Amino acid sequence: MVWLVIILIVALDQLTKYYISLNMFPETSLPVINGIFHITYVLNPGAAFGLFKYKTGFFLAIAVVLIALVAYLYPRLPKQRIYLRWGMTLMTSGAVGNVIDRLRTGYVVDFFDFRIWPVFNVADIAIVCGVALMTWDIWQSDRVKE
């Protein structure tokens, strides 16, 4: 089941990025809800908020360590830590999606643009949701211990 989720999220991420790349020019924007939500094609050579531009080797190293750590820890997690397990799955899926971009082109394709936040993609959504689930699980397990 985990592998199926990872494959589906990575496929959705790559297909949406491919579609945007095929149908738009970089830095162009199409309003979906004018002034609120746009599809904006951005080639991001950095991380969130454009930090650490052109540090592709650094991002690849971080992703490899993260994926290796998850591969090691995941089978050792108790089955009842469902939020932690799903969080790791989502985070890994997003990391793989963005690593594919970095390996292929040196940058990540972003396109969801809410105008009040940096432009992001499906992989970024998976990473954020995964981290949120893992945080929730850790917070809940700490509360149970108290």
Among 69, 85, 123, residue whose Cα is nearest residue 1: 85
142 has catalytic annotation? no
For CA atoms 31, 125, 108, 47, the dihedral sign is positive
User: Is there a catalytic annotation at residue 124?
Assistant: yes
Distance of CA 73 to the CA centre of its chain: 20
> Which position among 101, 110, 113, 137 bears the catalytic label?
110
- Which one of the listed residues 13, 113, 124, 137 is annotated catalytic? 124
Instruction: Retrieve residue 96's tokens.
Output: 């793989």
104-140 residues labelled b (16+ CB within 10 A) or e (exposed): eeebbbbbbbeeeebbbbbbbbbbebbeebbeebeee
Q: Known catalytic residues?
A: 110, 124
